[in-house]
Amino acid sequence: MSRKAFLRLSGAGIVAAALGGKAGAQPAPRAAGAAMPAGAAPRRTLIRNADVLTMDAQFRELHAVDVLIDDGRIASIGKNIAAADAETIDAGGMILMPGMVDGHRHLWQCVDAGRLIKMDPSGYSRAYLGWQRRMMACMTPEDNYLVELIGGLQAIDSGVTTVLDFAHGQPSEETALAAARGVRDSGVSGWFTYQLGRAVAFGPGSTVSMARVHADLNTTTEQSWKTVERLQKEIFSDGTSPLQLGLAPSNAIGRSVAEVRREWERARGTGVRMLAAHLHKPVKPTAPGTIGQRDSGIRDLYEAGLLGPDYHASHGNRLTTDELGLLRETGGMLCSTVVGEFPYMLTPHMMASSHGRARHAGVAAGIGIDGPLVVQQDFFEHVRGAFLSLFLEPEGRDIVRAYKSQDSLDFATALGARAVRLGDEIGTVAVGRRADLVLLRTDRIGFAMQGSLADRVANFASLADVDSVWIAGKARKRNGTMLGVDWPKLKRELAAAQQRLARQMATITFTA
C-alpha cells in the first residue's frame, strides 16, 4: 500500500480501499466487514429455528427458537416471531451463541506470526523482547494500520466480537493513530488500549544499548499525552461506539508509589474507562516504597488507593488469595492468556494461570490469546485451554471438579464480558442486549450431535464451524465467509511487509 493510498484511506476511515477487489468482482464493500455504510442503522434480521446457547445466569439453552435483531439489539426471542420486513435466516440445526470476548490480545503482533513459537520455549524466551523492540522501531504507520485491520478481522472470523487490544507496539503518535484506525475499520468491538511510554530513539541501522531501549519503553512523556489527546479527538470522540479508548500506564513494578499515582491520576483524568496493565509477580520483591515490594504489587496499589473498577490486569499468575480478594473488593478485572501461559510453568514465581481461582473468588475473569505471533487464532482452542490449564496446580484441580462445559465457556462470554466492563451490553443472548452474536454450523462430521449445547460447543466447535457473525446487529460474516474481505490480497500485503521488516530489523544492533 502506498503512503498516498494509506493517507486517503485512513482519512476517510473506510476499509474498502485497503481491501480492494479482484478484476470483475462486485464493487468494494462500503465498510469493514459490513454490507452497508459505516454508521448506518443495521436492517432487521430474523434468525429462525436456532438452538440458542444463552450463557445467561442460569446457562439456559433454548431449542428451535427465533431471535429478532432490530436497531443493533436483540428485540425478541421466541417461537414464530412475525417480522415480515426483516431479512430471514434459516438456522435450523445450528447453534446461536454470544459473540466471544478476548480480554487480552496484541492485535499488531499478527505482523510476524510464526517468527517465534511457544513450542520452542527457550528460543522464544531468549528472542521475544529483542524481536518486539526491533519490530516496533521498524513498522511504519501504514504497517500498523494493515496489521491492526487484519488482527481485528481475524478475531471476527473466529467468532470473537470483542477484544481488549493491548496496543503496546506503537512508539510514535502517527503509528498509534494508524493502529487505532486499523482496528476501528476492522469492525471489531471492545477497547483499543494505548500503551503509554513506548518511545524508541532508534531505527533501522542503529546500534543502541539495551539500557537506553528499556528506559525509553518505560517512561511516559508529554508526547504520550499528546497522542492520547489526538486519539480521543480524532478517533474515539463517539462515546457510544462499540470500540472505545483505554489506556495502559507504564509498567508499575519497581516504580515509586508517588510516581505511579501521578501517572494513573492523569490517565483517569482523561475520562477513559479502562486502565490495563501487564501484571507479573517479580522474581524478587522490589525496594520498599515501590510497587512490587509485596507479591504482585496488588496490595501496594490497593494501599495507595489506585485500584478500582477500571483496573484490568492481564496474566496475574500466582496472585494470592489476599490479592484476589482486593481485586474483588475494588471491582478489578483479570484476563489470563491460558494457552500462551503454559510455558510459565518453567518459571517458579509465575506458574499457572489465575483465571480459575479468580472466578472462584468472585473476580470478573476472562481469557485471551495474547500474541497472535505465537499461538493459533481458533478461539475455541483457547476456551478448551481455559479448562485444561486448571489441572496444572492443586487449587485448580480442586476447582475444576465441579466444572461443566458452560463454566469454561463463561470465561469467553458472560464473565468475559464483565471482565472488560461490558457485562451489561454483551456476553449473553437476551432481549435488550447488543446483538453481538455467532451462529455455528453443526453439520461437520466432527461436530458432536449429542449432549447439551454447551457440551457440543465447548468440546467440539472450531473456527471452521463459524457460519455467521454479527456485531451490534451488523453482519460481518455470512455463510462461512467474511463480508467484503479479500484475504488473499491482505495476505500478500502482509507477506511483503514481513519481508521488508525482517531486512530492516536485521540491521539493528543492541549492546549490553
| Whether 115 contacts 131, CB under 8 Å | yes
Assigned domain for 241 exists: no
406, 283: one domain: yes
Distance CA 408, CA 396 (A): 13
90, 108: one domain: no
Domain membership of residue 452 as a residue range: 45-99+430-479
- Identify the pLDDT of residue 501: 98
Assigned domain for 217 exists: yes
Distance CA 175, CA 170 (A): 5
Q: Final residue of a domain: which of 386, 402, 426?
A: 426
* Residue 194 grid coordinates: 494505548
293, 205: one domain: no
Residue 427 CA to its chain's centroid (Å): 14
Assigned domain for 24 exists: no
Q: What's the CATH number where 283 sits?
A: 3.20.20.140
Assigned domain for 35 exists: no
378, 287: one domain: yes
Query: From its phi and psi, is residue 97 left (phi > 0), alpha (psi between -120 and 50) or beta?
Result: beta
95, 109: one domain: no
Strands (E) across 176-274 are located at 189-195, 207-209, 243-248
Assigned domain for 435 exists: yes
Radius of gyration of the chain (CA): 22
Distance CA 334, CA 106 (A): 16
Distance CA 331, CA 194 (A): 22
Q: What's this model's pTM, rounded to 2 decimal places? A: 0.92
334: β partners: 313, 365
Strands (E) across 375-508 are located at 437-440, 466-471, 474-478, 481-482
Strands (E) across 187-291 are located at 189-195, 207-209, 243-248, 275-279
Phi then psi dihedrals of residue 142, to 5 deg: -60, -40
Q: How does DSSP classify residue 256?
A: B
Distance CA 16, CA 405 (A): 39
- Identify the pLDDT of residue 25: 31
Number of domains in the chain: 3
| Whether 99 contacts 426, CB under 8 Å | yes
- Identify the pLDDT of residue 3: 55
92, 146: one domain: no
183, 319: one domain: no
Q: Final residue of a domain: which of 384, 406, 426?
A: 426
Q: Final residue of a domain: which of 383, 399, 426?
A: 426
255, 356: one domain: yes
- Per-residue b or e along 96-110, where b marks 16 or more CB atoms closer than 10 Å to that residue's CB: bbbbbbbbbbbbbbb
Phi then psi dihedrals of residue 374, to 5 deg: -125, -5
Chain position carrying cell 474507562: 273
50, 70: one domain: yes
Assigned domain for 409 exists: yes
Assigned domain for 2 exists: no
324, 416: one domain: yes
Assigned domain for 31 exists: no
| Whether 106 contacts 183, CB under 8 Å | no
298, 383: one domain: yes
394, 278: one domain: yes
> What is the residue type of 314?
S
Q: List per-residue pLDDT tens for the chain, 512 residues long.
A: 555 555 445 444 434 433 433 333 333 333 333 333 434 445 899 999 999 999 999 999 999 999 999 999 999 999 999 999 999 999 999 999 999 999 999 999 999 999 999 999 889 989 999 999 999 999 999 999 999 999 999 999 999 999 999 999 999 999 999 999 999 999 999 999 999 999 898 999 999 999 988 888 888 999 999 999 999 999 999 999 999 999 999 999 999 999 999 999 999 999 999 999 999 989 999 999 999 999 999 999 999 999 999 999 999 998 999 999 999 999 999 999 999 998 888 888 787 889 999 999 999 999 999 999 999 999 999 999 999 999 998 999 999 999 999 999 999 999 999 999 999 999 999 999 999 999 999 999 999 999 999 999 999 999 999 999 999 999 999 999 999 999 999 999 999 999 999 999 999 999 98
Distance CA 474, CA 437 (A): 10
Q: What's the CATH number where 51 sits?
A: 2.30.40.10
Question: DSSP letter string over 291-315?
Answer: BTSSTTSHHHHHHTT---TTEEEEE
CA dihedral 182, 184, 190, 193 (to 10 degrees): 50
